[in-house]
Amino acid sequence: MLIRKPIFPGVIELNFQAGEVLGCNVYLVYDQDEWILIDIGYEETVDDFVEIIRQLDFPLSRCKTLVATHADVDHIQGLAKAKQLLKTTVTGHPKAAKPLREGDTLITLAEIEAQNLKLAMPPVEIEHEVNDGDIIKIGNIELEVWHTPGHTDSQLAFRHGDVLLSGDNIYRDGCIGAIDAHHGSDIKAFVKSLERIRDSDVKWLAPSHGPIFRNDKEFLNRTIDRVRGYLKMADFGTLADSWPLMDQWDDEVAEGKLPEGLVPPTA
């Protein structure tokens, strides 16, 4: 038997519980015997996580559902296996349903050919689609569902009192979940999701990767300003809104303007 190490009332993070980082953060939310998992991580760590849960003395038959924060392989590859082991259901955003059902390796970023990255993405059905404002009940605990698109279009966060299980929205170092057009990133939506987190009275952010940290306005603002800047940067390709340099180039071409000090040869 293991002694439970909850971080908040009714919330255990399984890597922290294990004293060892096995993968993405896996939150076990419980009230008495009933429990859920928020994310499961890679398939190869499912057995480890289930063994920890067993040793924490949670009845495996009382797993109400497995929740996918979003449809990225590092969070959900193990869902099919865990679902079978625990004989339970899967919960996620409607936009995660199709890539999970189809085991889509492109949208889940399981396969990045140019990087020689090729991971399996076992298909899994989502039985319970949830959207913003829905409540997930675990015993007497009510988790409020937030839809926070930006990193992906299916990204969810879950409010439990003072705490937001905040997914891949922001991490303790101010980094955010990867921006990649393939899995539905949207920079404007990202800014809105971050503003929503900043403007809420949530005290603690419990992200899907790395340590838990305080919801601090100044800190959020620094990230929001940076992300807003991405909208006008060529670095972000088709996800940027505009590229101001091209407007300047239009004008300069029309004026026949060259850099100061550059004297073109006469024809």
Pick 43 or 168: Cβ nearer Zn ion: 168
Q: 72 vs 104, which CB is nearer to Zn ion?
A: 72
Instruction: Give the residue among 81, 65, 168 at the shortest CA–CA distance from 121.
Output: 81
Q: How far is the CB of 32 from Zn ion (least distance, A)?
A: 31
Q: Which of 250, 212, 244 is nearest to 231 (CA)?
A: 244
User: 253: burial class by Cβ within 10 Å (0-12, 13-18, 19+)?
Assistant: exposed
CB of 45 to Zn ion, least distance (A): 16
Compute the distance between CA of residue 120 and CA of residue 112 in angstroms, rounded to an integer: 12
How far apart are CB 89 and Zn ion at their closest, in Å? 22
Closer residue to Zn ion in complex, CB, 13/168: 168
Binding site for Zn ion (CB under 5 A): 72, 168, 177
Task: Report the C-alpha gap between 52 and 46 in whole angstroms.
Answer: 10
CB of 248 to Zn ion, least distance (A): 35
Q: Are 126 and 142 in contact (CB under 8 A)?
A: no
Q: Do 5 and 16 form a contact (C-beta atoms < 8 A)? A: yes
Question: Measured from the CB atom, is 104 or 168 closer to Zn ion?
Answer: 168
Residue with tokens 């409540």: 135
Taking CB atoms, the residue at the shortest distance from Zn ion is 72
Q: What's the closest the beta carbon of residue 210 comes to Zn ion, in angstroms? A: 13
Phi, psi of 131 (to 5 degrees): -135, 175
What is the C-alpha separation between 41 and 21, in angstroms, rounded? 11
CB of 149 or CB of 177, closer to Zn ion: 177
* Residue 258, both tokens: 């060259």
In terms of CB distance, is 178 or 234 closer to Zn ion?
Answer: 178
Helix orientation angle between 79-86 and 46-55, rounded to the nearest 10 degrees: 40
Tell me how far, at minimum, the Cβ of 160 lies from Zn ion, in Å: 21
